[in-house]
Amino acid sequence: MLMARTFVTSVHGALPLLLSFVLALPAYIDGIRQYEYKIESTNTRRVMTGILLGIALRLLRQSVIGWVT
């Protein structure tokens, strides 16, 4: 329990986690937009959201591994 509290209150631990969620938002919004409004995505949009999502997943992985170890 103490480790979890330290992780959440630590700026170093919380910043990559928050940043990973922010970077994943465009992919989420694009997916919802395609599903709800039946609007097809462009290749440029897919590449940009994919790059941002890849960075977000890498940051999330690093923050979780740093938290566990």
Residue-by-residue pLDDT tens, the chain, 69 positions: 445 545 444 545 678 888 999 999 999 999 999 999 999 989 999 999 999 999 999 988 888 777 666
pTM of full prediction above 0.85:
no
| Structural contact between residues 48 and 23, judged by C-beta atoms closer than 8 angstroms | no
The full set of domain ranges for the chain reads 14-68
| Structural contact between residues 53 and 21, judged by C-beta atoms closer than 8 angstroms | no
Query: What CA–CA distance (Å, rounded) separates 59 from 35?
Result: 27
Q: Please state the φ and ψ torsions of residue 10, each to the nearest 5 degrees.
A: -75, 130
